[in-house]
Structure 1
Amino acid sequence: MRIGELALRTGVPTRLLRYYEEQGLLSPARTQNGYRSYEEGLVGRVTQIRGLLDAGVPTRIIREILPCLDDPCSIHVSDATPELIADLERHRDQMDSKIQCLARNRDAISAYLTAVRA
């Protein structure tokens, strides 16, 4: 698919998709006329990248962990520096806090809906 269709399907603007490519997060094929050509599987990859960025994970870390996104068990990571590990732990902990907050808000909304429907 071309970049416009990927943008439409993921909700990510084309300029950000090009930025992801510049950062080494996406590697589209090129057609003979030079247009980018994206595989179907990149729809999910873009969604993962967007989610990590929304969680505050910088592109330099995302680039490091991309091979693990599809199947973490199949990747043997031996070059992770202590700094990368510390960064990932910090971001994981921040994500956990956000998840807990979202769960509390979801539960409060559910309780409110139950109350107003009664």
Structure 2
Amino acid sequence: MKISEASGVSGVSARSLRHYEDEGLIVPGRFSNGFRDYCQSTIDRVLVIRSLLESGLPVRLIREVLAGFTDGSDVGTDVVCAEFLHEVQSHRDRLAARIAVLSDQKAALDVYLREARRTDL
């Protein structure tokens, strides 16, 4: 299917599909006229990519794990999964630390605003 069809089926913009290709996340086929040709397996991959991106994972990490699943062999798949899960856990831990800092900053601002309102009365 052409890029416009793939966009409609996947819910991902044509621009995003081109970006995924530029990043090496997908490799669509090509028609004889050079237009991109998206098969169902590429659409399925796009849906996985979109889900991973929406969860906040960086493209670098997504590229690494997808490469491990499509290198043509089943050897090391468990290792790829274990490494990927470790990377996901590390990413989640970094997010949790950032959230904690932001929560502390929000709490400090809440205190400031409460105090400021008291002095305005």
- State the TM-score, normalized to the length of structure 1: 0.63
The Cα of 1:29 is off from its aligned counterpart by: 1.1
Aligned residues: 89
SS of the equivalent of 1:27 reads: coil
Alpha-carbon displacement from aligned partner over 1:67-90 (angstroms, at most 9, x marks no partner):
4558xxx3416x97xx97753322
Which runs of 5 or more structure 1 residues have no equivalent in the other structure?
A: 95-118
SS of the equivalent of 1:88 reads: helix
Which residue is 2:50 aligned to?
Answer: 50
Q: Which amino acid aligns with 1:76?
A: G
Give the distance between the partners of 1:16 and 1:34, measured in 2 at CA. 19
Structure whose alpha-carbon radius of gyration is higher: 2
Verify: 1:63 aligned to 2:82, yes or no: no
Which runs of 5 or more structure 2 residues have no equivalent in the other structure?
A: 95-121
Q: Report percent identity of matched pairs.
A: 40
Which residue is 1:13 aligned to?
Answer: 13
Native 8 Å contact 1:53 1:59 kept in 2: yes
- State the TM-score, normalized to the length of structure 2: 0.61
